[in-house]
Every structure is written in C-alpha cells, then in structure tokens.
Amino acid sequence: MPSHASTTAAPTRVDADLAYQRCINSRCAATLPVDRAVFSCPECGDLLDVVYDWDRLPVPSRLSDFEAKWSRRLDPLCSSGVWRFYELLPFAPPDRIVTIGEGQTLLRPSDRVARYVGVDNGNLLLQYEGMNPSGSFKDNGMTAAFSHARMVGARRVACASTGNTSASLAVFCSATEFGFKAIIFIGSGKIAYGKLAQALDHGALTIQIVGDFDDALMRVREVADRLGIYLMNSVNPFRLEGQKTVMYRVLEGLGWEVPDWVVVPGGNLGNSSAFGKAFQELKHLGLIDRIPRLAVINAAGAQTLDLLVRSHGMTWNSGLPDESISRAYYDRLDREQIRASTIASAIEINRPVNLKKCLRALEVCDGVVRQVSDQEIMDAKARVGAGGLGCEPASAASVAGAKRLREEGIIAPSDRVVCILTGHQLKDPTATVAYHSADQDEFDRVLGSRGVKRAGFANRPVVVPNELDAIIRTIGLYSDAPAPG
Ligand SMILES: Cc1ncc(COP(=O)(O)O)c(C=O)c1O
C-alpha cells in the first residue's frame, strides 16, 4: 500500500522515474520516458500506459481533499475538473498544463430515465459530459494530451475523428496561445453537422478522405509518423489519463460513494479503458474499497467489442489476450467489406484501437458488454431529452444499454446506476429533428434507412393555421393532456 502525504499541493516538477510509459503487453513491458511522444511500443507495437510510482508521489489521503480545491476557483489547476485531481495524473509539470476550464460537469439523478430503465427512483444518475467547453467528454482527454504536447514541444497536432475529437482539438488550438495548429481527418459524409461546424469555425485544417473513421485513423497515424505530427487520438495514453477524471467527478457527485454500475457507450474504447484504470489506481491507493461494475455498450452496427467478448470469448487474460481472435474478425471485415453503420455516428467504429485496454477494464471492473439497436438508441435519447439533459445518439447508448441489462436481470432495481452522457444534444440536430419530425420522408431518410421504424417518444411539431382561435384551442388541448411519464 503506498504512503499518503498530507498535502494536496502539486509538485513543482515531475521526476522521470515517478511517471513513465510502459507497454501493456505483459510479455514485453518495455518502458520509456514520459517525455516521448511515440504512441505505440517501440519494441512490439502494442499500446502504451502511463504508469506512476505511487509509493513516492504525494497523494491526498482522502478523496474529499480534491473537493476542497473547488474553493480556489481562480487557480486554473483547481477550476479545471481534470487538473483538480492533479495528484492522480501527475505526469506533467504544472507549468506545462494547457487548460480551457474543462470538466466542470454535472452528475444529476433523473427519475424519468430511472422509470424508463426500470430502476428505483433516485438510482439512475446521468453524468453529463456535454457541459464541457466543446460539448463532449473529449475535452477531459484533450487537456491532458495538449499538456503532454506542450511538454514535448509539439506544435502541429492531428487526429482522425467521428466528430467530437476534432471539435475538441480545434477548440483547444484556437482557445490557447501556445501556437498549436490543428489538422483533422474525417471520413466522407461521416460526421454530424454540429461537430463539423465546430472544426471549421475554430479554424482547423479539415481533410476529408474517401472512407470511414477506421480508414481516417489508419491514414492519420501514417501521416503523423511521416511528418512528426503529434497524434491526438485515444491511442495516445495521455488522453486517457485525462479521461480518468470523469470517474473521479462521478464519485465526487455521489459524496465519494462507489455506484453499483457505470454504463458507457463504446466506440474506440478510450473511456472504458480510462475508467478501468481510474478505479484500479484508486483501489491500489486505498482511496476506494470496492470497484463498480462497468457496462460497455456498442451500437449494433458497430459491435466489434460485443462480438469478440460475448461470441468469441476474448478476454484480457492477464495481459496476454488471444489476438488470433481479433485478427480473424478483422480479416473477415476486410474480406466481406463490412463497414460500421449506425445512427450513433460517434461510435461508428469497427476497429477500436483501445480494444485490449478495454478488455483489461472489463476484467478489473467485472464488466459486461452489450449491443443495442439504433431504435433503442433513439428511443432512449428521446427519454433523456424529455428528462432535461439533451444528448447525442451515441451517448444514449448508455441508457439503452442500462435498460437492456435491467430487462435481463443483470442490473437490479435497487442498483445505483450511472450512465455517461458523452456528448451534447446539439452535436447532431439532424438525428433529433428527424425523430420528432411529422414529415415521414425526413424520418425515413435519416432514421428509416438505419432500421429505426418508430418514434414512440416523439414530440411532433403541431401545424396550426395562423389564426388566434386555432392557436388558443391548440394550447388548451396541450394544457389539458396528461403530463408525459
Ligand atoms: C459522443 C461520443 N460518445 C462515445 C464515444 C466513444 O468513446 P470511446 O472512443 O472512448 O469508446 C465517442 C467517440 O468519439 C463520442 O464522441
């Protein structure tokens, strides 16, 4: 068990042996210094972790010490909901940190969503990451990766994106004064309008390639390698360090009590990987006494994780997963030219780069995986919206997944469940408007083609003649109707 310092003050510099990078493959376990930016193991090509020597680092002895930092709002290290937890991700010297005030997010109970999912009132909580400056959880990871980029002297930063990573990257480049230049790769027609608008408006060089996210990611890795550009995708382990803090804020929102379940959508599997690491480290540090269960939810049109784990039994296996399973699956995708396809465009990913780290998180958190249809996603999204916190389709996969697990009896009504709402409703107005539209053609064009057949929770606009009596009659009918459940 590591020793705890009584102070919460950040160290003024980080010694090389206090934080370093290590290959996740237990057979390799190569290490390299924290100030290198290579994003895959130079020995074997596997993923890298950021590792700390907790025995020699000053970690507060109680989680509530982090909460106390809220009162020092003028200090950027305290007003950031990421860097408030500095001692739990101490890889960067404090004077290198790049922050735009990310992570000031909200954990809110929603009884309307609790009823929809089927758990007791008060037991369903929504962690609303749409409140971040760029409107999605990505800012948590981006502040960490940008701080690392500044540490290593990078200027040009790039990512492939289904939309939110590029939006966040563009915001960080334009909102800070460190000379960062944003280069983003997107697949053709694969990005929701709200997100594309952000990339363009914030001045990123936006390169649209023929293909989907998986193609764009392969290409940006090649380009970044060739040109020495800093890579901002979640294969970058520093991003995941920032994303750990979503879980710290969930615990903080619960008065430092551990929930029974954390349910998160799964795309490239950065969040699930980061959450597993966060809980593993907190347990190691003695700051929590148990780890919540993790549910990772795929969209049915992008269900690689679900297929590999549930149909093919792939596991972390203490650092040595049987990679022939995923290789055979990816070969099949190539052979049969299978492309990911879901209305939840943010998770329209067939080759999740963090697959192995996610398998590890599932082991740490006694996790489960499910896939949900676009119909379930859109219905859950409408229920979330009616409950007051708007989210984009991918985010609603968490609520749809919780409902599914409740129906299967895996989640109990008395369980306390936290669903992560990863991105804001305004990211993808097209999907939302189509669901609520009275125009069948619009519904069919956007959603019908995805297998969504009904809009059971639609709130359709009412067409009324421009006459006072007709308008008053309509409002009367609306006022007399029972409140929706
Ligand atoms: C809104 C939203 N939800 C979920 C995800 C998937 O997250 P992860 O790649 O961490 O699994 C993304 C990724 O782009 C996203 O933008």
Tell me the CATH number of domain 106-134+240-430, given options 3.10.20.30, 3.40.190.10, 3.30.530.20, 3.40.50.1100.
3.40.50.1100
Contact 393, 164 (CB under 8 A): no
Q: Give the position, in ligand 1's atom list, of the atom nearest the Cα of 162.
A: 14
Q: Which pLDDT tens digit goes with each residue over 225-275?
A: 999 999 999 999 999 999 999 999 999 999 999 999 999 999 999 999 999
Distance CA 413, CA 273 (A): 27
Q: What is the largest CA-CA distance in the chain?
A: 77
Q: pLDDT-based confidence at 289, cuts 50/70/90?
A: very high
435 Cα: distance to centroid of ligand 1 (angstroms): 21
Q: What are the distances in angstroms from CA 122 to CA 109, 110, 293, 483?
A: 6, 7, 18, 20
**One-letter amino acid for residue 385 of the chain:** G
- The interface predicted TM-score (ipTM) is 0.99
424 Cα: distance to centroid of ligand 1 (angstroms): 12
Domain boundaries, the chain: 106-134+240-430
Ligand 1 — pocket residues by CB below 6 A? Answer: 136, 162, 164-165, 234, 265-271, 346-347, 392, 394-395, 422-423
Instruction: State yes or no: pLDDT of 188 exceeds 90.
Output: no
Distance CA 261, CA 418 (A): 6
The distance of Cα 350 from the centroid of its chain, to the nearest Å, equals 16
User: Nearest CA to 248 among 51, 3, 69, 15?
Assistant: 69
Q: Tell me whether residue 462 is exposed, middle or buried, using C-beta atoms within 10 angstroms of its C-beta: 0 to 12, 13 to 18, 19 or more.
A: exposed
Residue 14: per-residue pLDDT: 63
Residue 231: per-residue pLDDT: 97
241 Cα: distance to centroid of ligand 1 (angstroms): 16
214 Cα: distance to centroid of ligand 1 (angstroms): 14
Distance CA 10, CA 293 (A): 31
Q: Give the position, in ligand 1's atom list, of the atom nearest the Cα of 296.
A: 11
349 Cα: distance to centroid of ligand 1 (angstroms): 10
DSSP state of 209: E
Q: Report CA dihedral (352, 246, 25, 158) to the nearest 10 degrees.
A: 60
Q: Could you please report the per-residue DSSP string of 251-314? A: HHHTTTPPPSEEEEE-SSSHHHHHHHHHHHHHHHTTS-SS--EEEEEEEGGG-HHHIIIIIT--
**One-letter amino acid for residue 337 of the chain:** Q
Q: Which pLDDT tens digit goes with each residue over 399-412?
A: 999 999 999 999 99
Residue 10: per-residue pLDDT: 43
> 270-284 and 355-364 are packed helices; what angle lies between their axes, rounded to 10 degrees?
40
Q: Which pLDDT tens digit goes with each residue over 197-223?
A: 999 999 999 999 998 888 999 999 999
